[in-house]
Amino acid sequence: MEKGELLSRYCCRLIAVERCAVLTKESYRLEIRRFLDYLDDNNTALQNADTAVLTSYITERRGTDNINSGSAAKAISALRSFFRFAMDEGLVRDNPACIIECPKRAATLPEVMDRETVEALLETVDVKTPLGIRDRALYEMIYSAGLRVSEAVSLNIRDVNLEEGFARVKGKGNKERFVLFGKKASDKLKQYLKEGRGKLAGKVNKTDALFIGRNGKRLSRKGIWKNYAKWASYAGTSSHLHTLRHSFATSLLEGGADLRTVQELLGHADLSTTQIYTHVDVGILRDNHRRFLPELNTAQR
């Protein structure tokens, strides 16, 4: 089987059988393409790719491409997936990637902003133009609902209920969930639909997408990131767009929300992913410690 056909069939499996998100599929495709090129460069047939070959490949990736532990773990995950496919296709007899231990990822705390900083950043957006009106509505929505960028991109007009303040979004693995957003985000969305979107769409509405660019087509992830970086620089912050989602989660916990609620609103499959936010605000932990164990804190004020 030729390399192109092999990759094409593998990608079809990722979508149809493993139900991977489009971004995951593309990431795995690129990784497996590198791996197959590596086999060609080393005159190694796929059926002869054992654990030693895979380990050498990962070692080369870490040395040549300088990938970190997280990227190495993703590469191993892609290899495991690919060899499952290869076994089902009868191309190999076993999965050598299964016994390769994934490197531990360094535990890093998410960057967050307090509400005042977020509001100051959003106020920086110039709403005198259709593009500015769109950006303000977009980033208010991301912050108020805790959206991933991909979820904001995929929103259609029919997915949003402005009066009730909720939207249906498609998250990782194409899993749908409902998210909530506040009155401020709702007001900005109404302004965008009334004053901004029609001017961007022109006479012919080319798409049902909620957020569109100056060409009338669905706004891209790259476009959203680029625009946010501009407004963030004007506000004097170096925060990344995903920080709005992190800040949303932290604000919920500060307000007394339980982890399960935050997990549902963020669309996390595993509660352990949500638990990282409990480590962000040491002040909250300290206050709770003093509240529930006052006898241990009489000496510290």
Residues designated catalytic: 148, 172, 242, 245, 268, 277
Q: Across the strands, what pairs with 209?
A: 156
Q: How many CA atoms lie within 13 A of 63 on its CB side?
A: 6
Task: Please answer whether residues 271 and 263 qualify as being in contact, where contact means their C-beta atoms are separated by less than 8 angstroms.
Answer: yes
Helix residue ranges, H only, 65-211: 69-88, 115-124, 130-145, 149-154, 183-191, 197-201
Task: Please answer whether residues 115 and 281 qualify as being in contact, where contact means their C-beta atoms are separated by less than 8 angstroms.
Answer: no
Buried-state track 182-209, b at ≥16 Cβ within 10 A, e below 16 = eeebbebbebbbeebbeebbeeeeeeeb
Cα–Cα distance measured from residue 139 to residue 130, given in angstroms and rounded to the nearest whole number: 14
